[in-house]
Amino acid sequence: MKKIILCIALLALIQTGGRISGFLESTLAIAANNDTQVIMYSTDWCGYCKRARRLFRSAGVEYHEYDIEKSAEGLKQYRALGGRGVPLIIINDKILRGFDKAEILRELASD
């Protein structure tokens, strides 16, 4: 079902010349699976972390965030994952390093 919704969103994107990025994110929110687990390791000052937060909010995606400068447990997990920069995002079992909107949306849409 999510793949059908994603195809419809992509078709609409093509037909409108790319003016509907918000539509794609709202379509993702409709298609988001309640089983999807998202964890983000971040800092307050990171601009890409802010963009990831904004993307998750606009898509209606629930996520758990660890600020690696404020959470000892978050820092421990981040290091265990081989963290070398933020954001480090885990969607289900897939580790995403850095902010790549297309990759994040792709992982959120996959099932």
pLDDT of residue 105: 96
CATH code of residue 41:
3.40.30.10
Q: Is 61 left (phi over 0), alpha (psi -120 to 50) or beta?
A: beta
Q: CB burial class (10 A; 0-12, 13-18, 19+) of residue 88?
A: buried
Q: How many domains does the chain have?
A: 1
pLDDT digits (tens, 9 = 90+) for 44-86: 999 999 999 999 999 999 999 999 999 999 999 999 999 999 9
pLDDT of residue 13: 60
Q: What is the mean pLDDT of residues 17-28?
A: 51
Q: What is the mean pLDDT of residues 21-35?
A: 52
Q: Tokens 């996959």 sit at which residue? A: 110
Instruction: Domain of residue 70: give its range.
Output: 2-109
d(CA 89, CA 99): 8
Asked if residues 86 and 43 have their Cβ atoms less than 8 Å apart, the reply is: yes
| 90 beta partners | 39, 95
Choose the weakest-confidence range: 3-7, 21-25, 39-43.
21-25
